[in-house]
Chains A and B, each alone.
Chain A
Amino acid sequence: MENKLRSAFDAVQAEEGVKAGTKDFLHQRLYAGRSKTRAVPKRLAACFVAVFLCVSGYFSYFTPVAAVSIDINPSLELAVNRFDRVIDVTGYNADGQALAEELSLRHMYYEDAVNAVTENEMVAACLAAGEVLEITVAGKSETRTAEMERCLSACNHVTEEQIHCADHWNDLKSAHQAGLSLGKYRAYLEAREENPELTLEEVQDMTMRELHELSECSDKETYGQGAGWGQQTGGVGQGGHGGTKGHGKHHQE
């Protein structure tokens, strides 16, 4: 009898249709919608990651890590990001502002931006008239500063002697507080060593050539340009400026 019972129950098997129907029911009930709901957190996470990358990328792109000051008489300063792109252009005098507006330098590689400046007609005219071009670089790291100095020396109409490096990244802040570009501020400090009465207001409209001459010349008369600038007194010698003439390289610590 036990065998009969076992044989009888053995003959009872689940129909394939019932099994398939159950699987289908569960798929519709639990898993068809589950793939969507699982995707939601994944998509949400992907969105968050994308937003984070965009935000961090945005901040990263628009955070300056270096500055390139181009000074002739137009006084122009380029803010450079970690990708070597110009993210901001500031003119520090009327000519500089005009040049900034004329040239679309934003988002260019800084070397290309410098080339665009040095090849500009107004700039070319200044240089042809005997004006002095100076480029001053300040970077958050010494490595970056040195690299930029090397790259800029290969720019058009630029020589190594015309490139200067700021001592510290904070020099940039001091220059801006003084209302000057980095390069002009550096030249002002050098000129003031020999001319303690030199004021920021006087320097604002001076060309780099004039500032150089102030630093170098010890017994020249008053220049025609520069408001309020009187006679040169003695003591403005070359010796004090000799170390910075030409390739005025000041490495950061």
Chain B
Amino acid sequence: MREEQEVNGAIDRYADTVRRLCMVHLKNREDTEDIFQNVFLKYALSSVDFQSAEHEKAWIIRVTINACRDLLRSFFRSRTVPMEESSSLAALEPETRDVLEVVLALPEKYKNVIYLHYYEGYPAAEIGRILGKNTNTVYTLLDRGRKLLKEKLGGEEVGE
């Protein structure tokens, strides 16, 4: 089990990353808090010996995505949850909010690759390792996700 100080340090480093992934997948603050506790509890109890900061971050991202997926699939979770996420977006700039709403509207399979590629900067191969997908599959998802964003955001080119 990791020391409390180490875990708190990880929370400070990766809280924003986890929050963004929660925003991509979840709908309310309560679920976000659950994911936070779940992810960092696993971190604290994990015996993985991280080779680098990048290795550690990739692990956090993978665990967060899996935790979100598990939460969404949970039999006991109510599907009729208040759309609190909309209110958090409302606090953002209109242009920012519009872009995020477009991303959130994408089918689930494209959200992760778009976020990991265009925000976190991971190459397709790394995204494949994080998500447990074939690199070519990632390329395909990126390509299709990019096209959807292009359609939604009014035809502007999205860099590769």
Could you tell me the distance in whole angstroms from the C-beta of B71 to the nearest C-beta in chain A? 15
Could you tell me the distance in whole angstroms from the C-beta of B9 to the nearest C-beta in chain A? 10
Q: Kindly list chain B residues whose C-beta atoms are within 8 Å of the C-beta of A29.
A: 41
Known: A4-B95, A12-B23. A26 touches B158 (CB 8 A): no
Q: Kindly list chain B residues whose C-beta atoms are within 8 Å of the C-beta of A19.
A: 11-12, 15, 36
Residue of chain B at shortest CB distance from A9: B119
The reply on B90 being an interface residue by CB < 8 A is no
Could you tell me the distance in whole angstroms from the C-beta of A89 to the nearest C-beta in chain B? 59
- Whether A13 contacts B44 by the Cβ 8 Å rule is no
Per the bound structure, the CA–CA distance linking A13 and B16 in Å amounts to 5
Could you tell me the distance in whole angstroms from the C-beta of A12 to the nearest C-beta in chain B? 5
Q: Kindly list chain B residues whose C-beta atoms are within 8 Å of the C-beta of A11.
A: 92-93, 96, 100
Chain B interface size range = 35 or more
Q: Which of B138-160 contact A (CB under 8 A)?
A: 149-150, 153, 156-159
Per the bound structure, the CA–CA distance linking A15 and B15 in Å amounts to 9
Query: In terms of DSSP, what is the predominant structure of the interface of chain B?
Result: helix
Residue of chain A at shortest CB distance from B7: A26
Q: Kindly list chain A residues whose C-beta atoms are within 8 Å of the C-beta of B12.
A: 19
Q: Which of B1-44 contact A (CB under 8 A)?
A: 1, 4, 7-8, 11-12, 15-16, 18-20, 23, 29, 32-33, 36-37, 40-41, 44
What are 7 pairs between A and B in contact, CB < 8 Å?
A8-B99, A9-B20, A18-B15, A18-B19, A22-B15, A22-B33, A30-B4
Sample of 12 further A-B pairs with CB below 8 A, known A5-B118, A14-B19: A1-B153, A1-B157, A8-B95, A8-B96, A8-B103, A13-B19, A14-B18, A21-B33, A21-B37, A26-B4, A26-B37, A30-B44
